């Protein structure tokens, strides 16, 4: 092999290296440009915040976390007393330490602590909303699936309907229905249900469009109608994933019902807002602790149940 034979190979290697260096330089340039734009946007946002706050935004920064000191209880035992409705030694007749005034008596001396009862209301709002949304989202997903519904207008209408339902945050819908129906859990249930129908419907029809069509085609060949094909050929394939997504959505709805409660949807969110606004440290800490434990418990139970339904794939859906 002569030098002339190896020269094209050397030139080819040099061209590849040059192209690679250009690509790295181009990527570095766009990365730096993106960082500059991001920093400029951040600085502009801070300046806008300062101007909107009459020029006192930076003056108040040292006091940003002052409210935390207001919410730290003087006696940490009051956190447990507030959680379980036990009379406080610090009760002087005001609302801050009247922990035993909100007991929900079942029979005789047996009672449910007030905050546990409110937490049950919050969970019930999320559970009822998820169940109702599941019932509506399942048929809507079949109407929207291209492989199961041949009618183009029906598919388009169903998809646009689900997009409309999930376009508005739950808290916006809850505000609208609170004005119509007054404040309470009913408005929260309607708001979460409508948003969840849109969210679950999208997930469900994407699952339905990826099923194995052989059972469906076999039933169609023997004369089965649309409902029979969906019920016996499609539903058994999608039901585990449908249930898994519904459980995942239940976790989200527990958090959503808490937030909606703060704007008049009832449950523990409303009590948490009142405690924070009044500076009741022990009650606020008790509510935060109960919320944290409940949400972690719901998440873990949901993850375990989804693993039981569809194996480790359920865990992948969560992450």
CA–CA separation, 42 and 25 (whole Å): 26
Give me the pLDDT at residue 314, please.
45
The two structure tokens encoding residue 301: 């139970």
More confident residue, 84 or 136: 136
Give me the pLDDT at residue 319, please.
46
Q: Which of 231, 229, 203, 232 is nearest to 133 (CA)?
A: 203
Q: How far is CA 141 from CA 130, 138, 160, 201, in A?
A: 15, 5, 12, 5
Q: Which residues contact 93 (CB under 8 A, 6 or more apart)?
A: none
Most confidently modeled of 88-102, 259-273, 290-304?
Answer: 290-304
The two structure tokens encoding residue 154: 């029906």
CATH number of 114-318: 1.10.3720.10
pLDDT tens-place string over residues 73-118: 777 888 888 888 777 777 677 777 777 777 777 877 788 888 888 8
CA–CA separation, 147 and 141 (whole Å): 11
The two structure tokens encoding residue 5: 């034979």
Cα dihedral sign, 215-209-317-254:
negative
| pLDDT tops 60 at residue 7 | no
CA–CA separation, 218 and 237 (whole Å): 15
Q: Which of 97, 265, 117, 81 is nearest to 184 (CA)?
A: 265
| pLDDT tops 80 at residue 309 | no
Least confident of 46-50, 144-148, 190-194, 269-273: 46-50
pLDDT tens-place string over residues 218-264: 988 988 899 999 999 999 999 989 998 999 899 899 989 988 888 77
Mean pLDDT of 258-281: 83
Residue boundaries of the structural domains of the chain: 3-59, 114-318
Please state, for a pLDDT cut of 70, what percent of the chain lies above it. 88
Query: What 3-state class would DSSP assign to 93?
Result: coil
More confident residue, 112 or 31: 31
Mean pLDDT of 158-186: 87
Cβ atoms within 10 Å, residue 102: 16
Provide the mean pLDDT of the chain.
84
Give this prediction's pTM: 0.76
């Amino acid at each position: 092999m002569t030098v002339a034979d190896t020269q094209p190979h050397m030139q080819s290697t040099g061209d590849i290296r040059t192209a690679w260096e250009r690509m790295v330089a181009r990527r570095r340039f766009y990365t730096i440009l993106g960082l500059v734009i991001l920093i400029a946007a951040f600085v502009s946002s801070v300046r806008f915040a300062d101007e909107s706050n009459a020029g006192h935004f930076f003056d108040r920064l040292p006091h940003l976390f002052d409210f935390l000191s207001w919410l730290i209880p003087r006696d940490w035992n009051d956190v447990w007393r507030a959680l379980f409705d036990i009379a406080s030694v610090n009760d002087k007749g005001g609302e801050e330490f009247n922990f035993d005034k909100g007991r929900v008596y079942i029979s005789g001396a047996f009672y449910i602590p007030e905050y546990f009862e409110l937490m049950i209301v919050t969970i019930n709002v999320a559970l009822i909303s998820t169940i109702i949304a599941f019932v509506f989202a399942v048929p809507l997903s079949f109407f929207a699936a291209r492989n199961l519904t041949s009618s183009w207008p029906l598919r388009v209408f169903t998809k646009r309907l689900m997009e409309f339902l999930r376009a508005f945050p739950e808290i916006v819908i809850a505000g609208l229905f609170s004005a119509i129906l007054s404040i309470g859990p009913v408005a929260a249930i309607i708001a979460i249900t409508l948003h969840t129908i849109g969210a679950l419907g999208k997930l469900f029809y994407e699952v339905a469009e990826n099923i194995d069509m052989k059972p469906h085609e076999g039933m169609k060949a023997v004369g089965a109608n649309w409902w029979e094909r969906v019920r016996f050929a499609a539903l058994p394939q999608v039901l585990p994933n449908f249930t898994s997504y519904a459980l995942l959505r239940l976790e989200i709805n527990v958090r959503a019902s808490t937030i909606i409660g703060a704007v008049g949807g009832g449950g523990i969110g409303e009590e948490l807002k009142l405690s924070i606004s009044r500076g009741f440290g022990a009650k606020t800490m008790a509510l935060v602790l109960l919320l944290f434990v409940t949400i972690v418990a719901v998440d873990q139970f949901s993850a375990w149940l989804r693993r039981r339904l569809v194996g480790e794939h359920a865990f992948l859906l969560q992450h």
